[in-house]
Amino acid sequence: MQLNDMETKKILDQGMLTRSLIETETAMKKCQVYTEMAKDAAVKGFFKEQAKGLEDVVGYFKKGMVELQ
């Protein structure tokens, strides 16, 4: 089965977004775990902010996936 250029681009874009989404979700979960493990308030705050920022990135990637479909 042959795909036209637009279909090929869409498949590649979905793959890229899926990979980025998985990597970002993993990093966000690590930050959440580090927040729970940290004893220093400054360290806790840092990782909490990082997790929130990554949560926003996850939303951006999910929006991109919806737009592709």
Please report, for the chain, the start and end positions of each structural domain, with discontinuous segments joined by +: 39-69
**pLDDT score of 2 more than 90:** no
Assessment of whether the complete model's pTM goes beyond 0.75? yes
Instruction: Read off the pLDDT of each residue in 5-27 and give the average, rounded to a whole number.
Output: 93
Residues 48 and 61: beta-carbon distance below 8 Å? no
Cα–Cα distance for residue pair 4/16, rounded to 1 Å: 19
Residues 43 and 9: beta-carbon distance below 8 Å? no
**pLDDT score of 15 more than 90:** yes
pLDDT digits (tens, 9 = 90+) for 22-61: 999 999 999 999 999 999 999 999 999 999 999 999 999 9
Angle between the 5-37 and 41-68 helix axes, to the nearest 10 degrees? 160
Which residue is it, tokens 């042959």?
A: 2
- Residue 51: its pLDDT value, please? 95
